[in-house]
Structure formats: structure tokens, C-alpha cells
Amino acid sequence: MSEKFLIVGLGNYEQKYLGNRHNVGFMVVDQICRDNFIQLTFKEKFKGEFAECTLFGTQVILLKPHTYMNLSGKSVAPLAKFHNISVGNIIVIHDELDFHLGKVQSKFGGGLAGHNGLKSIHEDTGSKDFHRIRVGIGRPAVKEEVVRHVLSNFKPEEKKKLEEEIFPATFEALEEIIKKNS
């Protein structure tokens, strides 16, 4: 039997952040749960909501950290350690400012592009050698607007694009990573 994978959706857990662009990782995990009738359970020990399940014929754990984005590693590292999941079997789904809305791309290792959630995971796992699925949210024209942009909600037409294009592309990238590395 192949090893387990840890699929982490990055976001901020408070109600006021739920529809934010920065929470697209949470949104993907939520959609996986809806599509597969999976219920996440909060565990204080792991500082997040998680569920064990089978996706694409492989055992996985889905995780939404409740640590805020900048401390995501405080949830990811203990859960991975407890379940004996190697850093190379961690898949992080996160927002990507440098991609236009709708672009989805997977990546293994490498730079963290200033993303504080990824930095935290690197610090707490001791490695950059994890998979990422980067989901484009676009970059505002003015640098000073970045924080406002990432913490803004998707517009109705963008939500439609999420459901019809972005979620399916993200699921394809996830399936490709898992099947290629199982």
C-alpha cells in the first residue's frame, strides 16, 4: 500500500475571512469535502480541522489549519509527524498573487515567493520539499493594494469561475500529484 498524503488548504479560519481570495485553499478543501461527503473534525492537538479519507485510490488527510495563515506550519508539522507523513507527501493548496485569476499550477519545492503560509510550513517542517498547488488570484495594479486585494471576497462572476474552472483544474492537479507519487 502506498504512503498517505497530507492535503493542506491554506486560509484564515475566522468567519470574516471565509470568502477572501487568501482563503482559496480552504475553499478547495471545502469543495473536496462536499463532493465526497467528507466531514472535517476540529482537533486542538493539531490546531485545525481534518479528515482521513481516500481520494484517487490513495489514503489522504485533508487539513484546514486554525492557526491563521502566517502560522500554518504549527498545524501542518505536528499532524504530518503524528501520521508519519513525509514532507514530500504534503500538498499545500494556496493563493498565488503572481498568477491571473484562474491559472492553476503545481510545483514541488523551490522558493516560497514571499507567501507567509508557505514560510511557516517550511520553518516548522524544516524543508521546502513539499508540493504546492498554486491558485491564481491576480495581483492588483498598485502594490499598496495587495493586502486589501488578498483579503477581499471573490466577486459573483469570479465565484462562478471558481466553481466551473478553478476547482476542477485544482482537482486535476491534485490527482496528478497523488498518482505520480503513489
Contact 117, 150 (CB under 8 A): no
Q: Which of 22, 66, 115, 131 is catalytic?
A: 22
Tell me the three state secondary structure of residue 40: coil
Task: State if pTM tops 0.75.
Answer: yes
Domain extent at residue 46: 5-181
Share of the chain above pLDDT 90, in %: 92
Contact 177, 91 (CB under 8 A): yes
Task: Indicate the number of domains in the chain.
Answer: 1
Would residue 22 show up in a list of annotated catalytic residues for this protein? yes
| C-alpha span between 28 and 10 (Å, rounded) | 9
Note the residue count of the chain.
Answer: 182
Mean per-residue pLDDT pooled into runs of 10, the chain (182 residues): 86 93 97 96 95 95 95 97 96 95 95 91 97 95 91 95 96 96 89
87: domain CATH number is 3.40.50.1470
Cα 138 to chain centroid, rounded: 17
Contact 125, 118 (CB under 8 A): no
- Cβ neighbours of 165 (radius 10 Å): 13
| C-alpha span between 171 and 175 (Å, rounded) | 6
Interval 128-151: pLDDT, tens: 999 999 999 999 989 899 999 999
- Confidence (pLDDT) at 113: 80
Contact 131, 3 (CB under 8 A): no
